[in-house]
Amino acid sequence: MFKPEVYQARRKKLRKLVKTGLCLFPGNDDSPMNYLANDYPFRQDSTFLYFFGLDSPGLAAVIDLDEGKEIVFGDDVTLEDIIWVGPQPPLKDRARFSGLRQVRSSASLNDYLEEVRRAGRQIHYLPPYRGETTLKLSSWLKIAPDRVKPRASTELIKAVISLRSIKSKEEVAEMEKALRVTKESYLTAIPEIRPGAKEQEILALMEVVIRANGLSFAFPPIITINGQIFHKTSYGDELRKGR
């Protein structure tokens, strides 16, 4: 996470590009594998991270351009949550690390958006890529799920693209760190690429390096003797000479 001033500056720039209405940013939720408490590794929405820096599930945020408000909506962990994930700082304390002062409960977001809708103000949002986000937007905005994506804000899309296309020194430093670790993972794996080795063995060597540096894969690794298959994500094939 960067310094609070970084996130504050990003939101300030966004307010100059999108003049009126309200920008709505849903964060991602946990995605269960096979039952509710057994989740896939959490990945926060990248745009939510860019503007708010809060890397935990169940959050949403708004930038109210007309009223000058920046609010994060979410709930503190319950006793049942603590059993699974341990004690967590209150959301209001975590929000300060991204320069946010206003925190409200998740349940209050619906009422807030209803007031905006009744006032006839525009609600800007980006096209969702997860089904649960589509359903949340559908519920909040009172539109059918199949109408959510077509009504995404072109103005907000263009604004976010223009901001995220230019990298700050903090972002460049993180990118360079990722490149260094990627290079190390390749150099670790290359000596073991030989006939008889398994794809999964090469993957394991690379993942050890990446995890040891506190990082994770940006996408499912493509480690395969079948290079013509761009998104092959099984790793059981044995390496052979020339492949």
Residue 6: closest CA among 173, 161, 216, 127: 173
Separation of alpha carbons 44 and 55, rounded Å = 6
The pLDDT of residue 48 = 98
| SS3 of residue 102 by DSSP | strand
**Phi then psi dihedrals of residue 28, to 5 deg:** -85, 160
Same domain? For 145 and 48 the reply is yes
CATH of the domain at 95: 3.40.350.10
Whether 51 shows a pLDDT value over 90: the answer reads yes
Q: What is the pLDDT of residues 146-202, one digit of tens each?
A: 999 999 999 999 999 999 999 999 999 999 999 999 999 999 999 999 999 999 999
Selected residue with higher pLDDT from 215 and 86: 215
**What is the predicted pLDDT for the residue at 131?**
96
Per-residue model confidence as pLDDT tens digits over 52-78? 999 999 999 999 999 999 999 999 988
My answer on whether 143 and 108 are in the same domain is yes
Does the CA dihedral 75-76-82-86 come out positive or negative?
A: positive
Same domain, 172 and 158: no
Residues 140, 180 share a domain: no
Q: Does residue 228 share a domain with residue 187? A: yes
> What is the C-alpha separation between 118 and 33, in angstroms, rounded?
39
**Containing structural domain, residue 205:** 167-243
Q: Where a domain ends, among 95, 130, 164?
A: 164
Are 30 and 83 members of one domain? yes
Query: Among residues 168, 166, 131, which one has the least CA distance to residue 26?
Result: 131
State how far the Cα of 201 lies from the Cα of 235, in Å rounded to an integer.
8
Residue 83 pLDDT class (50, 70, 90 cuts): confident
Helix (H) or strand (E) holding 32, with range, is strand 32-35
Q: Domains in the chain: how many in total?
A: 2
pLDDT of residue 162: 98
Confidence of residue 231 (pLDDT cuts 50, 70, 90): confident
Looking at the structure, tell me whether residues 160 and 207 fall in a common domain: no
C-beta of residue 22 within 8 angstroms of C-beta of residue 122: yes
Quick one: 187 and 115 in the same domain? Answer: no
**High-pLDDT (> 70) share of the chain, %:** 100
pLDDT over threshold 90, residue 38: no
> Whole-angstrom Cα distance, residue 192 to residue 187?
10
Dist CA 151 CA 149 (whole Å)? 5
